[in-house]
């Protein structure tokens, strides 16, 4: 089940975020519970995928920076289409709020890089020294949903 994220989900969101094997945080304390709360209640919106009362994936978009802040799955639940569903719900919502191009950064040579390329994101350079920067325009998203 995919539903909007709430403050009560933050502990489980953090567990998922820290369970990933790619795009890991160098220091888990860099992303606080307060950060998560701000992104899902003030800056944008988040969604979680829940299976048997356990959050197994989440996505969060930031309307202030026009950025995909997070899209992560518990590694045990990868390759089941959950990421694609979270991605679609998040971008559908984002583009009902604004038509501003959205961007994200992800590490080189990861499954995430392949995921975003396959989903139609355009590589536009680098974000810092360790990530690829991708963008999705409103028109590209609408076109991809209505081929």
Per-residue pLDDT tens digits for 63-81: 999 999 989 898 888 888 8
Number of domains into which the chain is organized: 1
Strand-by-strand arrangement of the 102-107 sheet: 2-4, 44-51, 54-62, 67-73, 102-107, 131-136, 122-127
CA distance 114 to 118: 6
CATH number at residue 132: 3.40.630.30
Q: Residue 55 sits in which domain range?
A: 2-145
Q: What is the pLDDT of residue 62?
A: 96
23-32, 43-52, 136-145 — which is least confidently predicted?
Answer: 23-32
Cα angle at 9 between 8 and 13, to 5 degrees? 150
Mean pLDDT of 12-37: 71
């Amino acid at each position: 089940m995919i539903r909007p994220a709430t403050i009560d989900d933050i502990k489980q969101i953090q567990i998922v975020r820290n369970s990933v094997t790619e795009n890991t945080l160098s220091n888990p304390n860099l992303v606080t519970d307060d950060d998560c709360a701000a992104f899902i209640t003030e800056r944008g919106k988040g969604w979680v995928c829940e299976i048997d009362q356990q959050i197994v994936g989440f996505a969060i978009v930031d309307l202030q920076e026009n950025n995909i802040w997070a899209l992560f799955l518990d590694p045990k639940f990868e390759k089941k289409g959950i990421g694609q569903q979270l991605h679609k719900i998040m971008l559908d919502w984002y583009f009902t709020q604004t038509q501003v191009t959205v961007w994200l950064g992800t590490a080189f040579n990861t499954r995430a890089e392949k995921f975003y390329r396959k989903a139609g994101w355009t590589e536009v350079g680098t974000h810092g020294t360790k990530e690829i920067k991708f963008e999705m325009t409103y028109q590209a998203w609408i076109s991809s949903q209505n081929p």
